[in-house]
Amino acid sequence: MALVNLDMDLLRTLIIVVEKKSFTAAGSVLLRSQSAISLQMQRLERLVGKKVLERGNGKGISLTPYGHLVHQYACQILDLNDAMMKNLTTHQEATVLRLGIPDDYADLVLPSVIQRLTAPGNPIELQIITELSPKLSEMIDNGELDIAIMTQEGSMDGLSLCDETLAWVARDREVVRSGESLKLALFPDGCGVRTNALRALTAGAYKWDIAYCSKSFSMLKTAMISQGALGVLPRRAVPNGLVALGEEDGLPPLDQTRLIMRIDTMIEPSRHALFTKIASGIGNSLPSTINNPPALCA
């Protein structure tokens, strides 16, 4: 049996006819003549191949036993149709925001970002990419990211969020033993924090070995906790399970670093305005250790 596509308008007319029990009354609601309504119901009966309505029995128009089944399905079909159209007309397509961030800053920064993005009426699909800061800056230049939060390295410019104090981190103070080579867990070559740490150790003539290297901070944290390795983090980003160490523990001082944000300048103006608003909100919501208000830095 060939499938038949029923006209939604016929089903809607059937529902009004059943409600009003009259072609004339239904025509008044639908702004059509009595004859036009009658022709629609005849067409519906031809399509379904059965008699749907009882006419002229002195009690107005009523449904046949088969008509009850058609009416039941008509109500369900139109409810689904109307719900779908309402959804489509009110649904806002999510704006994709590609955010890049070093893995060691994710726990510190992402909560405030996500809180701002989940505001009602602000549908955004957040795509998060974790990479080293130089790679994130390159991805911004290549149009692969919309916003990148990173540590400033070399001639890198962007929106200054704060100056960061770095700290040596380990599971406890016992990992630093006089005369023993320091077992390090650091991000790969190209990371400014790694360069900072190795420069400080070399200047102080410390013995050291890079025992663990990964782009994933969770991997480095595991090495620090389970193997007693030594790492470096922003002091305010030290997680549970690790402690901050410093000169009082016999370790060399680390240079400060700066947290900046870059926004892709080539995106369309409406998206750029939205991302700039989000960016300023991130800067304002960072913990109170920020030394400077957001400003363009070079």
Which range of 227-231, 232-236, 282-286 scores highest in mean pLDDT? It is 227-231
Token pair in block for residue 271: 């998206």
Residues 41-65: b if buried by 16+ CB within 10 A, e if exposed: beebbeebeeebbeeeeeeebebee
Residues 276-293: b if buried by 16+ CB within 10 A, e if exposed: eebbeebbeebeeebeee
pLDDT per residue as tens digits for the range 136-168: 999 999 989 988 988 888 778 888 877 888 999
Residue 228 scores a pLDDT above 50? yes
Q: Report pLDDT for 139.
A: 93
Name the pLDDT band for 121 (thresholds 50, 70, 90): low
Class of domain 8-90: mainly alpha
Residue 290 scores a pLDDT above 70? no
Name the pLDDT band for 284 (thresholds 50, 70, 90): low
Same fold, 8-90 and 95-162+261-297: no
CATH of the domain spanning 166-249: 3.40.190.10
The alpha-helical segments, DSSP class H, found in 119-257 are 133-141, 192-203, 217-227
Average pLDDT, the chain: 84
What is each CA distance from 34 to 13, 29, 52, 63, 287, in whole angstroms?
A: 12, 11, 17, 18, 72
Q: Report pLDDT for 78.
A: 92
Q: Average pLDDT in the 19-29 region?
A: 90
Task: Please report, for the chain, the start and end positions of each structural domain, with discontinuous segments joined by +.
Answer: 8-90, 95-162+261-297, 166-249
- Out of 49-53, 82-86, 229-233, 273-277, which region has the weakest mean confidence (pLDDT)? 273-277
DSSP letter, residue 94:
P
Paired residues of 241 in beta bridges? none
Residue 295 scores a pLDDT above 60? no
Q: How many CA atoms lie within 13 A of 117 on its CB side?
A: 21
Architecture of domain 95-162+261-297 in CATH? 3-Layer(aba) Sandwich (3.40)
Residue 1 scores a pLDDT above 80? no
Q: Average pLDDT in the 91-120 region?
A: 78
Name the pLDDT band for 190 (thresholds 50, 70, 90): confident
pLDDT per residue as tens digits for the range 192-225: 899 999 999 999 999 999 999 998 999 999 999 9
Q: Report pLDDT for 282.
A: 62
